[in-house]
Amino acid sequence: MTTSGQLRIGAQRQSYAGRWMGRRKFITLIAGSVISWPLASYAVPARRPLKRIGTLAAIGRCPLRPDNPAVRALGKLGWIEGQNFVFDCVSSLDREDQVEALARELVSRRPDVLIAGPWTHVIALKQQTTTIPIVMVTGLEPEQLGLVASLARPEGNVTGVAWFYLLPKQMELLKETVPNLRRVAFVAGGGGATDVPPETLKILREYQTIASNKLGFAWQVFQPHVANDYDEIFARLAAEHFDAAYITGTPLNLQHQKRICQLALHHRILTVSDASQWAKNGLLLTYGQDYLWSMARAMEYVDKILRGAKPSDLPVEQATKLELVIYLKTAKELGLTVPPSLIARADELIE
């Protein structure tokens, strides 16, 4: 027979066993949570793919240096190369006759957005794609060249900063410096595939006609294709007694700035152009849009497009910040006295 004491002992044993089994389940549950919790908490999210910015460079070489104006401007907007974007860069330096092929190569890489400075490079990219956004840095007269439908409503894949011709005003400044101005050469550097397009030459000649009719001088276009052409052109300008030369901002000219400035000084040809960097290399006088300002503004367009904006919804901004720079040392070497009224209006005087 079973005594009451034995029953009590058996019940206690079952109670202890039940409590122990409960503790084991609880410990197992906690242990599983401890093991799984860090894995869920510290899981690394999938890294977003880097945005790709395609650059068709006209002057510098690739890769772009950290002190490049585009790199600095993008950095201020939170875009750090290697962290959230990468450059796809091709350069036409010393390869101006291959711009069309370089544009084709760059577009084939399918970047998220394209950047181009000179209008010749913008045209080359536009001919290769109608879908990838293109941001102009110095797009010259984009409406007349057919790059955009209008500045307010681009309607296509091109937007950015537009430059406009300032020839009449530049010629006024030159006439003020050289009152007896009679013959002016326009050096519109081409180079194979980037020869000045016919429609651009038409616009150029329209502005030249306005300037010459108003100021009473004759003009003639010279179009170098390779570096050695500059020697022949400036020798001819000196032999034929041209009073001055206007140097356009085409890629070939930009690549040979120092050579052009040295030849102009050697042959004693007064020279004028649009960008201040020319004066800093020895050109007599420059009047035009501020390149660094234009670059900073263009990178704001890149920023907006990378964040989802469409180029067709971004009106083209016309560069209105202008600067007049005079190289007084060049004037002195040419025996030229710059009028005090012109010096007073200059944004920068280089001694």
| Whole-number pLDDT of residue 25 | 52
Helix (H, G, I), strand (E, B) or coil at 283: coil
3-state helix, strand, coil in the chain (%, to 5): 45, 20, 35
Closest CA relative to residue 128, chosen from 153, 147, 108, 148: 108
| Whole-number pLDDT of residue 22 | 52
| Whole-number pLDDT of residue 206 | 72
The Cα–Cα gap between 349 and 57 comes to 29
The Cα–Cα gap between 223 and 202 comes to 14
167-290+321-350 matches 51-164+292-318 in CATH topology: yes
Which CATH superfamily is 51-164+292-318 part of? Response regulator (3.40.50.2300)
| Whole-number pLDDT of residue 227 | 87
The Cα–Cα gap between 300 and 136 comes to 11
With tokens 């010096």, the residue in question is 343
What the block records as the tokens of 228 is 């050695």
| 308 neighbors 322 (Cβ within 8 angstroms) | no
Beta bridge partners of 88: 54
Mean pLDDT, 10 residues at a time, over the chain (351 residues)? 49 50 49 46 63 90 89 96 94 83 95 91 94 92 88 96 84 89 85 53 69 79 89 96 90 88 94 84 89 93 97 93 91 92 93 83
CA dihedral 285, 287, 288, 293 (to 10 degrees): 80
Indicate the angle between helix axes 257-266 and 229-239, nearest 10 degrees.
30
CATH number of 167-290+321-350: 3.40.50.2300
With tokens 């955009």, the residue in question is 148
Domain ranges of the chain: 51-164+292-318, 167-290+321-350
